[in-house]
Structure 1
Amino acid sequence: MAMDNPPVVAMMRALNQGAEDIWLRTHQQWPDISIDVVAHIGSTNTALMDVARAGQLTHTRVMLAAEQTQGRGRLGKPWLTRVGDALTFSIALPWPASLPLAGLSLATGVAITRALEATPHTDTDRFKPRIKWPNDIWVNDQKLAGILVEVCGQAQQRCVVIGVGVNLYPPTGVLSHSGVAPTGLANYMGDGVPPDASAVVSNCVVQLVNMLRQFKRNGFETFAAEFDALDALKGRALHLSDGSKGTALGVDAEGGLRLQGASGAVQTIISQEVSVRPCVSP
């Protein structure tokens, strides 16, 4: 059983502590929030999407998982980690069709970066997380965290589910599907102090809640300048999975990637089916 597994027990303890802190820090401004902590699940995003598709998502729900066996990222790519090596969690909420969605993954990146920068005992000289369009957090071009934004519903009411995975420790012997090496918070902790899982998950969810309140009012505009300062790709030569190449010029007002080709023409990349990577210098 999962609860007979010491790493699961340790992570459950940290997540329960984090959940209590999340509730204390958010319930006054977001009184309908509920927080579930589970020992074992396939995917927190899938579980909350199932609730939403069944028409049962009536309030904001957060799900924190100690062990996730079928985690996934953008384009259906799997997110596989050992228990204790990563934080996996999702937040889901009703989303009126009149509210914007463009740029939500980038605003989520800003929120998660804010939270990670507040991690206690990090070596701030070395730990400088940046956002890789459209949904990853990188440190020194290595993947620290991933984001998956999913939407269901139509007509007047939609539901949004945002999933996040954060590496506490770098997976050993693992490359992402793009060949990008992963990293973990432990690589940037000062004096050998281990990452505080409860503090990290609490900071991440609280920042997400604050971001969603602002995004509902003003959309991506509120986060555009901060994203620009954290943009891991701006000014770099890129190649896209569809064969396109060019130089990243940042993003437009709706979060689309602006790419300048060799001819000088600028195109805006908005497709979530395209992967983007920096060109490797010879």
Structure 2
Amino acid sequence: MKDHSVKLNLLNTLSDGAFHSGESLGKQLGITRAAISKHIQGIQEWGVDIFRVQGKGYQLAQPFIMLNHERIQSQVNNPVELHPIIDSTNQYLLERTDTITSGTVCVAEYQSQGRGRRGRQWMSPFGTNLYFSIFWRLEAGMAAAMGLSLVVGVAVVEAIEALGIEGVKLKWPNDLYHDDKKLAGILVEMSGQAGGAANLVIGMGMNLAMQDKNGEIDQPWTSLVEVIGNDQFDRNQLVVSFIKTLDQALKDYEMHGMQDFVARWNRLDNFIDRPVRLIMGNNEINGIERGIDAHGGVLLETNDGVKSFIGGEISLRSNG
């Protein structure tokens, strides 16, 4: 595994938002100013904006608090792994389901191969988003996992609400929205054999302070700093809140299934009672969205009455 310790130490120093000269950074790390410049370029390739001003040195465009493993682990019972740099938090756990315990969490500052639904790339700049996955062994098997992404969505929004942040909604089946813009996405991946337990890895990517630099994202999106109107939130406390709420929600789901989550989802449904179009493969169905049913299917009121739709290839979009 590539050693990123110098870059991470640089980021720790720069995270205070002040200017630091190349000379002082070099003395601190025991390397030359030229080496500092090279490492700064590497950090910029992670999507981090760093200014360089002659006579002053380097400064982060956006100061941020880096994730701290000790702070997070001291407040939760789940085993937590913090990897500043990783290919994919989901893939990391998927490759270790035989050796890790149920409830293990993987968190990262930067993903080089983050992915969303249907294999889409998830934009993953360093330190401005949250990349989070949890492993769960579902003893009831893969068939019992239907609707799990809905349960996770409810838990995540409730964790955000517990921190005093209002207005975040859910888009069926696995996105978080605010003002009709995507805030976060959830990806559930599983493995197992018929008749046995299902190994689930539930991943989430949330935009915290990401800026639209390159226009590569093909849908309206927002970030948490826009939702709350400032950047005064603790990223570490956000992770703690997600771990605690998700752990309890997954235990509730194991005991009671979807029944306790239908009303909780419908309260948060971004499209409930709104005209929508449901795209399923080459088919498009128009109607009024009426929430979800007890199996996690989306209810659509059409000229033929209210029908339930469910499946991994369904997209839901507002007519407007």
TM-score w.r.t. the length of structure 2 is: 0.75
Contact 1:106 1:255 in 2 (8 A): yes
Give the Å deviation of 1:239. 1.6
In the alignment, which residue of structure 2 is the partner of 1:260?
A: 301
In the alignment, which residue of structure 2 is the partner of 1:244?
A: 285
Aligned length: 261
In the alignment, which residue of structure 2 is the partner of 1:189?
A: 228
Contact 2:69 2:80 in 1 (8 A): no
- Answering whether residue 196 of structure 2 is matched by residue 156 of structure 1, we say yes
- Answering whether residue 83 of structure 2 is matched by residue 38 of structure 1, we say yes
**For residues 163 and 83 of structure 1, do their structure 2 counterparts lie closer, same or farther at Cα, with a shift above 3 Å needed?**
same
Contact 1:252 1:258 in 2 (8 A): yes
Question: SS at 1:244's partner residue?
Answer: strand
- Once the two structures are superposed, what CA deviation does each residue of 1:136-170 show, in whole Å capped at 9, x if it has no partner? 11011111111111111022121111101111114
Question: SS at 2:127's partner residue?
Answer: coil
Distance 1:20 1:213 in 2: 20
Distance 2:111 2:232 in 1: 21
- Answering whether residue 208 of structure 2 is matched by residue 168 of structure 1, we say yes
Contact 1:8 1:66 in 2 (8 A): no
Give the Å deviation of 1:3. 3.0
Output the amino acid matched with 2:289: A
In the alignment, which of 14, 36, 54 is matched to residue 67 of structure 2? Answer: 14
**For residues 47 and 167 of structure 1, do their structure 2 counterparts lie closer, same or farther at Cα, with a shift above 3 Å needed?**
same
In the alignment, which residue of structure 1 is the partner of 2:160?
A: 116
Give the Å deviation of 1:236. 1.3
Question: SS at 1:40's partner residue?
Answer: strand
Question: SS at 1:275's partner residue?
Answer: strand
**What percent of counterpart residues are identical?**
31
- Answering whether residue 245 of structure 2 is matched by residue 207 of structure 1, we say yes
Gaps of 5+ in 1: 28-32
Rg larger in structure: 2
In the alignment, which residue of structure 2 is the partner of 1:30?
A: none
Distance 2:91 2:181 in 1: 26
Distance 1:161 1:132 in 2: 20
Distance 2:112 2:65 in 1: 16
**For residues 235 and 12 of structure 1, do their structure 2 counterparts lie closer, same or farther at Cα, with a shift above 3 Å needed?**
same
- Answering whether residue 134 of structure 2 is matched by residue 134 of structure 1, we say no
**For residues 166 and 59 of structure 1, do their structure 2 counterparts lie closer, same or farther at Cα, with a shift above 3 Å needed?**
same
Contact 1:88 1:166 in 2 (8 A): yes
TM-score w.r.t. the length of structure 1 is: 0.84
Gaps of 5+ in 2: 16-63
In the alignment, which residue of structure 1 is the partner of 2:115?
A: 72
- Answering whether residue 92 of structure 2 is matched by residue 47 of structure 1, we say yes
In the alignment, which residue of structure 2 is the partner of 1:87?
A: 130
In the alignment, which residue of structure 1 is the partner of 2:7?
A: 5
Give the Å deviation of 1:18. 4.6
Contact 1:51 1:57 in 2 (8 A): yes
Distance 2:177 2:71 in 1: 24
In the alignment, which residue of structure 1 is the partner of 2:18?
A: none
Give the Å deviation of 1:106. 1.0
Output the amino acid matched with 1:70: Q
- Once the two structures are superposed, what CA deviation does each residue of 1:107-164 show, in whole Å capped at 9, x if it has no partner? 11111001112336x5xxxx40011110011011111111111111022121111101
**For residues 193 and 117 of structure 1, do their structure 2 counterparts lie closer, same or farther at Cα, with a shift above 3 Å needed?**
same
Distance 1:256 1:19 in 2: 35
In the alignment, which of 201, 220, 224 is matched to residue 262 of structure 2? Answer: 224
RMSD: 2.2
Contact 1:36 1:63 in 2 (8 A): yes
**For residues 252 and 176 of structure 1, do their structure 2 counterparts lie closer, same or farther at Cα, with a shift above 3 Å needed?**
farther
